[in-house]
Structure 1
């Protein structure tokens, strides 16, 4: 654990030295909260919760997935990952330690958006907080693994803008933030529900407003998206074991 924390502190120092990354992490979320609050509708908690959970999905995609793809690629090409594997750290500890600061930023932004939704948009106390928390945590874990897999397909940091684009675009459609599910054909909506980010945002929305259900009713409704999200996590882990690259691509 000490080695993992030391690796996380080293990554945090690199993050603090990157002004653009620091701006995106600390400053950019603030106006996003205001913009989202201005788009909220009074007396529509379901619609407002979809806006907020869509923002949480953007945090998972932008902060966790995209940033980690570039981080893993950069550390691999600089031979950092290869050197770390010669020490006492396990492969999982290296991946977690490298992702530590990014995950911390994601947690802070999620808390900011949740607080903004509660204060500025009048969203109620979560109907089922464990389901909301599970959706956020499991979604982050799944996209950490997907980021590690995507890094294996990315030769350089610059190419990450291209290799991550399909996942970013398709998963954003599945959040319902830009394209509400009821505005697309049923077949397309069914396909979008199977994407890895869709069950995470659905769990967070269910845990927050519950669609009129009770605590136990939300648990029953959350079973299907929770199972799908767990399946994506397992597939991501198996893919990491099979395809993740620890040495530079030549």
Structure 2
């Protein structure tokens, strides 16, 4: 009898949580659309960056198809710009305006507040990635992925990692203006060394052993492995072998997620510093 009563209660609780998240996410989306700088960062900057990188011929000396390389780069830039950078500014702005503090005294849980705030940026990033994949497939002949499962898993893991890193980065970001500085080290390190622009197999072995532990590196490794079957070492594998090759990037990604959760719990501030 208690189990029968508990099931409707859990269902009602879940529906209530979804309604709260949807309402807050809708409000965040309106704020995002009204912010021209944030919209430029979310919509135009990743595309312009990929176009600029392709214009100077980065990656032409690799065996990776240029369409696959471009899609991989756009995924990386969407995670860095649309998810990570935009969310650092959003979280900091809401904290400094005491919005987070007020939300916390209501029905919303901490996870619901952080998740709902992140949802609009995540949706924009997903739409960008989906459109890029569709255009590359239809207009530029992007081959069918070797393992689409790994591509989806890689993107999903990337979203989780960079939402957590955005929340954690607010601990060193005193105001919205400071976000332009506090996010630069991670942005540049991931852009240059994660294998997104310069494929890992072209790097010296020692450097490759180090940069594979950057937060974006396992995401890029999984996406490239899924799209082309190519490993970070430059080997090409088939569908079955791609799962075993995905083991190490998944371990690294899991470590980043675990450390990200711990960092948010320990250092995330819900109100401005005194």
Asked if these proteins are the same fold (TM beyond 0.5), I'd say yes
The unaligned stretches of length 5 or more in structure 1 are none
Shift of 1:44: 5.0
SS in 1 for 2:229: helix
Shift of 1:36: 6.9
Structure 1 residues 28, 116: closer, same or farther in 2, change over 3 A?
A: farther
- Count of residues in correspondence between the two structures: 250
Deviation sequence 1:191-214 (CA, Å, 0-9, x none)? 111101010011011111113422
Contact 1:139 1:197 in 2 (8 A): yes
Within the candidate set 21, 26, 39, 1:4 is matched to 21
Shift of 1:115: 1.9
Q: Which moved more, 1:115-124 or 1:202-211?
A: 115-124
Contact 1:200 1:229 in 2 (8 A): yes
Shift of 1:17: 1.1
TM-score (norm 2): 0.83
Superposition CA RMSD, Å: 2.3
- The residue aligned with 1:68 is 87
TM-score (norm 1): 0.91
Contact 2:42 2:78 in 1 (8 A): no
Structure 1 residues 134, 191: closer, same or farther in 2, change over 3 A?
A: same
Within the candidate set 219, 241, 258, 1:234 is matched to 258
Shift of 1:216: 1.5
Within the candidate set 233, 244, 247, 2:268 is matched to 244
Shift of 1:73: 0.3
Shift of 1:163: 0.7
Greater relative contact order (CA < 8 Å, ≥ 6 in sequence)? 1
- The residue aligned with 2:192 is 173
Shift of 1:26: 4.0
SS in 2 for 1:125: coil
- The residue aligned with 2:101 is 82
- The residue aligned with 2:11 is none
Alpha-carbon distance between aligned partners in 2 of 1:27 and 1:238, rounded to the nearest angstrom: 33
Deviation sequence 1:167-211 (CA, Å, 0-9, x none)? 001111233243333443321121111101010011011111113
